[in-house]
Structure 1
Amino acid sequence: MSGASILVVDDEPQIQRVLRPSLTASGYEVLEAATGREALAAVSANSPDLVILDLGLPDMDGKEVLRKLRILTRTPVIVLSARDRESEKIAALDLGADDYVEKPFAMGELLARMRTALRHSQSASLESDHVVANGLAVNVQKRMVTKSGAPVKLTPKEFDLLAYLARHAGRPLTHREILKTVWGPAHQNDSQYLRVFIGQLRAKIEDNAATPKIITTEPGVGYRFITSE
């Protein structure tokens, strides 16, 4: 999405010095904020297309900024942080982050995650009823799934799970988020239950369930649906 505006929220000057030229060279307009308050003001004033957010800000925790951002906007947010604990990733994703990249980071990976988040944001308002991934086609409205043109038989709950993952293609989804949405709040801690269903789905839709390419695992966090884009 060339020409998109990116708000970089980070109080480390060296990060800003690295990101600004790289993002500009990739065709993005770059806005900057060094504090949580500056970030919230910039989002309100400029409505950026994507936010890159550090969690360690001088005036407030980045997760609190994220919580407040989600009240203001559905603009995609990629957390870029040196905090590598799984609990931090899960908390940020549960609060509405679209992805999480650890420092130190590879610029190529960050740009790829940004493109995915921007694509998802562009199509979010158009209900994504048809998703294609590595020969798999999911038609959400008709509740039909085919693999290389052949029908795939799924149970109703397997389909609900696949449809939820497909509609959020490219975004890491936490165990709790998936369970709460597909099975309800009473099951939001049943991670083992989810693993069983993911295993059943992979056996039916992957070329090799042992090395999945469509439903990939985010270690300690959850799962990500990978499209063929």
Structure 2
Amino acid sequence: MEAGNKHDGNSLSGHKGTILIIEDEDAISRVLAAYVRKAGYDSRICANGTEALEAFESARPALVLLDVMLPGMNGWEVLRRLRQRSSCPVIMLTSKGDVGDRIQGLNDGADDYMTKPFEPGEVVARIQAVLRRPAQSLVGSDQVTFGSVRIDFKSRSVYLNGASLTIMPRDLSLLLFLAEHPNRIFEREHLIERVWGIDYDGSDRAVDLAVKRLRKLLLHWPAEEGEIRTLRGMGYQLYANTRS
């Protein structure tokens, strides 16, 4: 059976959703598939980027495990193309341990980053941690509306003037967290801990860059309804007119 068509499952298949494993080393992909099945997920294995992009549409995965060093199209390009069509969570897998690579992956839209060799059990734990983000909404509803912006926490969807916005997963998690706590101020360090995770060791500039991208997407959101504000020396705030 070709790598792009491998579909490993058991009696728990589909119970928690599908994990798409994009990895060209057969031994690694099979071990990962076994562990995610044991945790109650279905698995789909692809050995290269081209097959993976095709499989992504049919598998509709809950999360993608993406190796950086793939034959032909590398993992960075696969990530870029995935982000053009979806905000599905992505965890990068690589043998590179350089901090710069980790920052590139996270800033390009990856949700987490694991360096080989890794324990498969830890990969499953990371999968579960990413899929738990963001924390349970504190606004008392599955949805909140700030004027022309509507945010659906349950489906992790954001709409501006009725049109759905395509937002990179990490940026989306940041926006959802801020929207769960409207008009509260958060320091960068707090946002990194709650959104990026306590083990993140990259630059806190990641928060600034994520806010910059969100502001660009929300450019046509009237300021009197709401906006992401920078409070010098204090942090960030999603100002929202809750009566709009």
The two structures have a TM-score, normalised by structure 1, of: 0.62
Distance 1:79 1:114 in 2: 11
1:82 aligns with 2:95: yes
1:140 aligns with 2:181: yes
Cα 1:180–1:17 shift into 2, 3 Å: closer
Higher helix share: 1
Q: Deviations over 1:62-94 (max 9, x none)?
A: 111111111111000001111111121111111
Cα 1:112–1:169 shift into 2, 3 Å: same
- Give yes or no for contact 2:46–2:52 (8 Å, CA) kept in 1: yes
Pairing 1:104-123 to 2, within 5 Å after superposition: 104-120=117-133
* SS of residue paired to 1:168: helix
1:18 aligns with 2:28: no
Aligned length: 165
Residue 45 of structure 1 and its aligned partner are, at CA, apart by 2.0
- Give yes or no for contact 1:94–1:174 (8 Å, CA) kept in 2: no
Distance 1:70 1:62 in 2: 12
2:195 corresponding residue in structure 1: 168
1:178 corresponding residue in structure 2: 207
Pairing 1:1-229 to 2, within 5 Å after superposition: 3-120=16-133, 125-126=152-153, 127-128=176-177, 140-143=181-184, 159=186, 161=188, 164-165=191-192, 168=195, 170=197, 172=200, 174-175=202-203, 176-181=205-210
Distance 1:33 1:10 in 2: 6
- The Cα RMSD (Å) is 3.1
Residue 129 of structure 1 and its aligned partner are, at CA, apart by 5.6
- Give yes or no for contact 2:103–2:202 (8 Å, CA) kept in 1: yes
Cα 1:173–1:76 shift into 2, 3 Å: farther
Q: Where do 5+ consecutive residues of structure 2 fail to align? A: 1-13, 138-151, 154-175, 214-232, 236-244
Distance 1:16 1:121 in 2: 28
Q: Where do 5+ consecutive residues of structure 1 fail to align? A: 131-138, 144-155, 186-196, 202-229
Aligned partner of 2:188: which letter? L
The two structures have a TM-score, normalised by structure 2, of: 0.59
Aligned partner of 1:165: which letter? I
